[in-house]
Amino acid sequence: MSNRNMYLVTVPAGFESEAKEEIRGLAPNACVRNLFFKGNLLVECPRSVDLSSIAETNETVYVGKIFPIDKVVKISKSRESIAYIHDEIVQLDKLRKGERFVVRCRRRGKHEFTSQDVERELGSMLEKSCGALADLRNPQKIVTVQIFQNKALIGVSEASKIVEKKIKVFKKYKHGERPLTRAEHKIREAIKIFGLEIKRDFRVLDLGAAPGGWTKVLASLAGKVVAVDPADLNSSVKALPNVTYLKCKAEEIPKNIGRFDLIVNDMNLDPSESARIMVNLAGFLKKGAPALMTIKFVTRNRKKHIAEALEILKAEYKDFKVKRLPHNRYETTVFMRKA
């Protein structure tokens, strides 16, 4: 048996960072991770910590439902996964003969079966294999099956351990205060964490600028921002007097565009490709001037993406600092200077 308690916690999408902090406040030794689908966190606590009870007895804002999880198993999209999940649940040996139970499934992703198929088929399989009694109205135990594409989080717990709390936030910002993108937080974090000084007379080149979160923040600090993106820049950002919008790819920037005091790059490209563009555009940047780039983790091999990008960037840049910022999701941020 694992020496950790595992939970799936649902939280309001977009508030994952705040929810993580809240959960760490409730269970200080908890390890809290984002799942690939927004609004879902996987929490691991020491065996002695019962997150369901703690969350139930404490005031919370971001915690929604809490499902105790016994195991995470790999599944395919085929219907055979239901029998496989059944076998895994039987192996847990937590459902006894005569116990009243219900299967609750939530499925995310594409599969050849529905959540209802899982609830129905798994329910009747477990009745046969464990001698337990399916009871939708008054179950003693809940069999949880939470599917995230090729992962099934499974658990068998007392019904009272599935906690459902009222989420107390719905809107993050007051009318008019909402950032254009989560990216706005990212650029603010990067400026702070890397100690980036942006002066009033700076000319900034913003690559992959749309919809315009970074441009908006940069335009409030610098003298001039040239925002480059084939996608549309938000009209309110486009209208800012010190923003020039080039509706083109970074590879198509005109040669006579002038020199810059800062280049930032949030293009959603393969990191090596993005790094090559940074190298090709380095001539626009003054010597020693700073640059920022997000490295998008297009695969799970994060270290490889960082290493490959830095290897390419080395041709024109130096003083690298790599930092995963709180608002970086499937990416990390690199600070560097023109060599």
Judge contact between 68 and 157, C-beta under 8 A.
yes
Is 271 a binding residue for ligand SAM by CB under 6 A? The answer is: no
Is 39 a binding residue for ligand SAM by CB under 6 A? The answer is: no
Q: How far is the CB of 241 from ligand SAM (least distance, A)?
A: 19
Alpha carbons 250 and 108: distance in angstroms, whole number: 36
Alpha carbons 146 and 154: distance in angstroms, whole number: 6
Q: From 47, 170, 48, 28, select the one nearest 20 (Cα to Cα).
A: 28
Considering the complex, state which of residue 145 and residue 246 has its C-beta at the smaller distance from ligand SAM: 246
Is 212 a binding residue for ligand SAM by CB under 6 A? The answer is: yes
Is 297 a binding residue for ligand SAM by CB under 6 A? The answer is: no
State the DSSP H helix or E strand holding residue 272, giving kind and residue range, or none if neither. Answer: helix 271-280
- Dihedral of CA 223/229/233/239: which sign? positive
Q: Count how many Cα atoms sit within 13 Å of the Cα of residue 246 in the half-sphere of its side chain.
A: 17
The bridge status of strand 65-69 relative to strand 4-10 is: antiparallel
Is 331 a binding residue for ligand SAM by CB under 6 A? The answer is: no
Considering the complex, state which of residue 115 and residue 242 has its C-beta at the smaller distance from ligand SAM: 242
* Of 58, 268, 299, 301, the one binding ligand SAM by CB under 6 A: 268
Tell which positions 215-234 bind ligand SAM, by CB under 6 A.
228-231
Q: Count how many Cα atoms sit within 13 Å of the Cα of residue 153 in the half-sphere of its side chain.
A: 22
* Of 152, 156, 210, 282, the one binding ligand SAM by CB under 6 A: 210
Considering the complex, state which of residue 268 and residue 301 has its C-beta at the smaller distance from ligand SAM: 268
Q: Which residues contact 151 (CB under 8 A, 6 or more apart)?
A: 72, 73, 74, 75
Considering the complex, state which of residue 85 and residue 243 has its C-beta at the smaller distance from ligand SAM: 243
Is 28 a binding residue for ligand SAM by CB under 6 A? The answer is: no
Window contacting ligand SAM (CB under 6 A); options: 11-19, 61-69, 141-149, 180-188: 180-188
Using CA atoms, how far residue 316 sits from 265, 275, 279, 319, in Å, is 15, 10, 6, 11
The neighbour count for residue 282, using CB atoms within 10 Å, is: 19
The neighbour count for residue 77, using CB atoms within 10 Å, is: 14
Considering the complex, state which of residue 179 and residue 223 has its C-beta at the smaller distance from ligand SAM: 179
Considering the complex, state which of residue 146 and residue 328 has its C-beta at the smaller distance from ligand SAM: 328
Is 266 a binding residue for ligand SAM by CB under 6 A? The answer is: yes
Is 123 a binding residue for ligand SAM by CB under 6 A? The answer is: no
Q: How far is the CB of 332 from ligand SAM (least distance, A)?
A: 14
Is 250 a binding residue for ligand SAM by CB under 6 A? The answer is: yes
Considering the complex, state which of residue 163 and residue 187 has its C-beta at the smaller distance from ligand SAM: 187
Number of residues that bind ligand SAM (CB under 6 A): 22
Q: Which residues contact 162 (CB under 8 A, 6 or more apart)?
A: 52, 65, 66, 67, 68, 104, 142, 144
SS3 content of the chain, % helix, strand, coil (to 5): 30, 30, 40
Q: Which long-range contacts (CB under 8 A, 24 or more apart) does 31-38 make?
A: 34/329, 35/8, 35/148, 36/148, 36/149, 37/108, 37/109, 37/148, 38/13, 38/14
* Of 62, 101, 148, 214, the one binding ligand SAM by CB under 6 A: 214
Q: How far is the CB of 123 from ligand SAM (least distance, A)?
A: 43
Q: How far is the CB of 299 from ligand SAM (least distance, A)?
A: 17
Q: How far is the CB of 320 from ligand SAM (least distance, A)?
A: 20
Is 211 a binding residue for ligand SAM by CB under 6 A? The answer is: yes
- Residues found near ligand SAM in the complex (CB under 6 A): 180-181, 183, 207-214, 228-231, 249-251, 266-269
